């Protein structure tokens, strides 16, 4: 399908129809003008490296389940397309639209006990089905489980496979843990610690979801004594990795036992697969025999759904057959005549009458009109009038239907006719647009330059104009305006200014910290800029432990900035917990008093501003508005670099602090945000490539 055909078929408004988003794209509700139905479309921009190699693409998520058959508890994509747009390459994945929301919403709205148990069982069926096909999800949480309400039932569907991985291994073996750590509150200990994973890492997440499903509360949360968000996150991290699980007695006994088998820190002692959990649900497990019974089959595997017929029960046509003797008196047969009795022979007239009756009967049979078909298949086919009817017939009766091929031909002809009309209309529209564009080309160019000139109210806008129009009509005026603006900024008190050729904004913070308006390496607020490993002052092509400056190939072999001998190379420690000036990328590249923010400065920013997810000049990010003087600071969602690829640009932001994560010195503190949250964390290793927003003191 061409780009023009795609947007003619699927229509939606990016501003009004956005229904969700995360690390792997934005989801919109759209209308399918060919099949006349509502669909959900996930959109994700594809980024490339300098040598043209693709980084993460939505196609990876689409193909993660390409080899997995359909399942009633898994939401699969239907189609995938990729198009080159004026502002980049974008992936589009189409799936059915589910208007009832996700499991998190359903839990907050309230569920009956029966609904909770059915959701829990069906969710486990979906996980079991993924694992049977060697797919581990790695990001199971209520927000990634869509629901369908049907009557009084609620059916869960697992979705969002951005972190899923085809294990390609047999049961019991392990595979590497990539950087994607999932959502911390639902992640297994081995995920948070960066250890190798097994398929049963999803069962830990399932146990945490079970607790929330049956109690309405999150299993892992920080106490009220946490001084700040970072301390709260650290408390949650410690609870998970140390197996500090409490409150399971609030759950029904049967499901408590299921959760206990899931929430085991050691993955080798945790429930190995869903079969063990199904045995607990059915009551077939033997508690005296210890943990799981290896090889015990799921009660719902390879046999259909829970409501499938008993394979051992004979069908109605089988009961009473197979050797049962007929009743000698059945069918109203008469008692045999007594011995010695005689039967009178029929008279010739009677024979003639019988023959005539037989002839009449045969004629009636031959002349009787052929009855209309009574089989449901044919009746349903003959009742079809529209293309939608024929599609429903094909879906309901399957490929073995008597009239499947005829219905398919009708549908294909209808789609071909519709596509031809769309293509013809698109061609006419394109020709008209091209003619208008050619006629107005010169006028549009002049208007565009004039519009850029009118925007020259800031230094950054002036620089953008001069870069775009080096020989433009207003070059001299813009240069003069830029000089004047720079002078005004330097003279302002409590507003914007500049130092060393770099602008800053004063948010009125108690510490007097001034925040740069651009990332290190960027020339405008929405520019991503450069990516640096923690403590390194230049960019590079690969970000991992092997290329990291201050480690000997691993997180427990640090050669600088180490306060614990367990993490130092051969027991090395230097007790440095903040970047020295020579190792600070902001100080090394900008000089003149610029530094990478400390963790305390990130905490101060969050405590004294109101932040929101927004778009500036076409770039998504988070805008912080001062509660003290009303000035704003914009941070673009630039993603991060790991190995040689860029992850989550436009969806998440990761910004280094200069403060070491003293709990585990192989990590450092950083600001993290997405569309739904913003926090200061310390879970990510120092070798990762993050962006830097410099600061200076007033």
The C-alpha angle 581, 600, 223, rounded to 5 degrees, equals 145
3-state secondary structure of 366: helix
Backbone angles phi, psi at 366, to 5 degrees: -70, -35
What is the rounded distance in angstroms from the CA atom of residue 602 to the CA atom of residue 620?
20
Start-end of H helices in 18-93: 58-64
Given a contact cutoff of 8 angstroms between Cβ atoms, the answer to whether 576 and 662 are in contact is no
What is the rounded distance in angstroms from the CA atom of residue 404 to the CA atom of residue 394?
6
What pTM value is reported for the model? 0.43
Inter-axis angle of helices 113-132 and 274-282, nearest 10:
150
Q: Determine how many CB atoms are found less than 10 A away from the CB of residue 673.
A: 21
What number of residues does the chain have?
698
Given a contact cutoff of 8 angstroms between Cβ atoms, the answer to whether 293 and 279 are in contact is yes
Using the structure block, give the residue that is written with the tokens 């008993």: 310
Q: Where are the beta strands (DSSP E) in 440-549?
A: 496-499, 502-506, 513-516
Rounded alpha-carbon distances, angstroms, from residue 380 to 40, 373, 396, 401, 423: 30, 10, 10, 11, 33
Q: Determine how many CB atoms are found less than 10 A away from the CB of residue 447.
A: 11
What is the rounded distance in angstroms from the CA atom of residue 87 to the CA atom of residue 107?
40
Using the structure block, give the residue that is written with the tokens 């939606």: 12
The C-alpha angle 634, 640, 641, rounded to 5 degrees, equals 145
Euclidean distance between the first and the last CA atom of the chain, given in angstroms as a whole number: 57
What is the rounded distance in angstroms from the CA atom of residue 326 to the CA atom of residue 320?
10
Using the structure block, give the residue that is written with the tokens 């709990």: 663
- Tokens at residue 362, please? 């045969």
Inter-axis angle of helices 201-215 and 113-132, nearest 10:
170
- Tokens at residue 524, please? 């405008």
What is the rounded distance in angstroms from the CA atom of residue 531 to the CA atom of residue 645?
11
Q: Which helix H or strand E contains 396, and what residues bound it?
A: helix 387-397
Mean pLDDT by 10 residues, the chain (698 residues): 86 83 77 90 75 66 76 86 77 88 91 93 93 87 89 87 55 46 77 84 94 92 64 80 89 94 93 92 63 36 35 34 38 41 48 60 52 65 82 82 86 78 71 73 86 89 91 91 73 64 92 95 95 97 96 94 95 96 96 94 96 93 93 95 93 96 94 93 94 92
The answer for residues whose C-beta is within 8 angstroms of residue 212's C-beta and 6 or more apart is 107, 142, 218, 219
Q: How far is CA 400 from the centre of its chain?
A: 35
The C-alpha angle 493, 496, 502, rounded to 5 degrees, equals 125
Given a contact cutoff of 8 angstroms between Cβ atoms, the answer to whether 222 and 116 are in contact is no
What is the rounded distance in angstroms from the CA atom of residue 528 to the CA atom of residue 641?
12
Rounded alpha-carbon distances, angstroms, from residue 32 to 10, 245, 301, 526, 567: 5, 47, 35, 34, 56
What is the rounded distance in angstroms from the CA atom of residue 665 to the CA atom of residue 379?
72
pLDDT of residue 250: 93
Label residues 404-443 b or e (16+ Cβ within 10 Å = b): beebbebbeebeeeeeeebeeebeeeeeeeeeeeeeeeee
Given a contact cutoff of 8 angstroms between Cβ atoms, the answer to whether 658 and 637 are in contact is no
- Tokens at residue 157, please? 């569907």
Rounded alpha-carbon distances, angstroms, from residue 79 to 49, 61, 74, 110: 26, 12, 15, 34
What is the rounded distance in angstroms from the CA atom of residue 324 to the CA atom of residue 326?
7
Q: Determine how many CB atoms are found less than 10 A away from the CB of residue 322.
A: 7
- Tokens at residue 143, please? 């927000």
The answer for residues whose C-beta is within 8 angstroms of residue 479's C-beta and 6 or more apart is 462, 466
What is the rounded distance in angstroms from the CA atom of residue 152 to the CA atom of residue 539?
57
Label residues 168-193 b or e (16+ Cβ within 10 Å = b): eeeeeebbebebbbbbbbbbbbbbbe
Backbone angles phi, psi at 351, to 5 degrees: -60, -40
- Tokens at residue 85, please? 């747009």
pLDDT of residue 167: 54
What is the rounded distance in angstroms from the CA atom of residue 394 to the CA atom of residue 411?
10
pLDDT of residue 336: 44
Single out the residue of 100, 68, 65, 70 nearest to residue 80, CA to CA: 65
Q: Determine how many CB atoms are found less than 10 A away from the CB of residue 508.
A: 16
């Amino acid at each position: 399908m061409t780009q023009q055909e795609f947007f003619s078929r699927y229509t939606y408004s990016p501003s009004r129809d956005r229904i969700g988003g995360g690390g792997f794209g934005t989801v919109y509700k759209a209308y399918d003008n060919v099949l006349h139905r509502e669909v959900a479309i996930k959109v994700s921009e594809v980024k490339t490296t300098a040598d043209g190699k693709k980084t993460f693409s939505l196609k990876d998520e689409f193909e993660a389940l390409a080899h997995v058959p359909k399942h009633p508890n898994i939401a699969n994509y239907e189609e995938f397309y990729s198009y080159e747009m004026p502002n980049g390459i974008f992936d589009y994945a189409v799936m059915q639209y589910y208007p009832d929301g996700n499991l998190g919403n359903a839990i907050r709205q309230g569920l009956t006990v029966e609904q909770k148990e059915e959701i829990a069982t069906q969710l486990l069926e979906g996980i079991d089905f993924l694992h049977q096909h060697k797919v581990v999800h790695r990001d199971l949480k209520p927000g990634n489980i869509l629901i369908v309400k049907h009557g009084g039932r609620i059916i869960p569907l697992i979705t969002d496979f951005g972190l899923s991985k085809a294990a390609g291994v047999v049961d019991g073996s392990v595979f590497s843990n990539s950087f994607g750590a999932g959502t911390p509150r639902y992640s297994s200990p081995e995920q948070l610690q960066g250890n190798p994973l097994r398929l049963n890492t999803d069962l830990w997440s399932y146990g945490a979801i079970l607790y929330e499903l049956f109690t309405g509360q999150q299993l892992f949360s920080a106490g009220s004594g946490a001084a700040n968000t970072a301390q709260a996150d650290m408390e949650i991290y410690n609870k998970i990795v140390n197996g500090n699980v409490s409150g399971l007695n609030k759950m029904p006994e049967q499901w408590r036992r299921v959760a206990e088998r899931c929430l085991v820190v050691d993955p080798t002692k945790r429930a190995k697969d869903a079969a063990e959990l199904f045995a607990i649900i059915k009551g077939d497990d033997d508690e005296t025999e210890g943990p799981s019974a290896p090889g015990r089959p799921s009660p719902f595997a390879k046999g259909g759904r829970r409501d499938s017929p008993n394979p051992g029960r004979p069908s109605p046509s089988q009961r009473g057959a197979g050797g049962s003797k007929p009743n000698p008196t059945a069918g109203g047969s008469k008692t045999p005549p007594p011995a010695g009795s005689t039967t009178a022979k029929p008279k010739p007239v009677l024979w003639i009458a019988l023959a005539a009756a037989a002839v009449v009967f045969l004629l009636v049979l031959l002349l009787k009109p052929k009855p209309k078909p009574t089989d449901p298949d044919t009746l349903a086919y003959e009742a079809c009038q529209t293309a939608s009817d024929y599609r429903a017939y094909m879906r309901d009766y399957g490929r073995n239907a008597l009239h499947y091929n005829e219905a398919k031909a009708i549908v294909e002809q209808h789609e071909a006719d519709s596509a031809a009309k769309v293509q013809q209309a698109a061609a006419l529209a394109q020709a008209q647009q091209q003619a208008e564009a050619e006629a107005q080309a010169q006028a549009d160019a002049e208007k565009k330059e004039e519009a850029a000139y009118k925007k020259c109210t800031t230094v950054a806008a002036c620089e953008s104009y001069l870069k775009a129009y080096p020989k433009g009509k207003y070059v001299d005026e813009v240069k003069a305006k830029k000089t004047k603006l720079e002078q005004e900024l330097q003279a302002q008190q409590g507003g914007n200014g500049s130092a060393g050729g770099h602008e800053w904004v004063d948010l009125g913070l108690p510490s007097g910290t001034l925040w740069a308006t651009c990332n290190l390496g960027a020339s405008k607020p929405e520019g991503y800029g450069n990516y640096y490993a923690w403590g390194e002052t230049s960019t590079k092509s690969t970000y991992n432990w092997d290329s990291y400056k201050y480690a000997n190939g691993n997180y427990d072999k640090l050669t600088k900035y180490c306060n614990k001998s367990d993490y130092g190379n051969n027991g090395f420690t230097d007790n440095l917990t903040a970047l020295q000036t020579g190792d600070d990328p902001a100080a090394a590249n900008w000089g003149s008093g610029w530094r990478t923010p400390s963790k305390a400065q990130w905490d101060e920013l969050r405590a004294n501003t109101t932040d929101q997810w927004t778009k500036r000049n076409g770039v998504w990010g988070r805008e912080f508005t001062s509660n003290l003087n009303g000035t704003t600071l914009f941070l673009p969602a630039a993603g991060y670099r790991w190995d040689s690829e860029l992850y989550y640009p436009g969806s998440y932001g990761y910004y280094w602090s200069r403060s070491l994560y003293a709990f585990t010195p192989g990590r450092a503190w950083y600001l993290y945000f997405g569309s739904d949250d913003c926090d200061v964390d310390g879970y990510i290793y120092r070798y990762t490539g993050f962006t830097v927003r410099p600061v200076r003191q007033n």
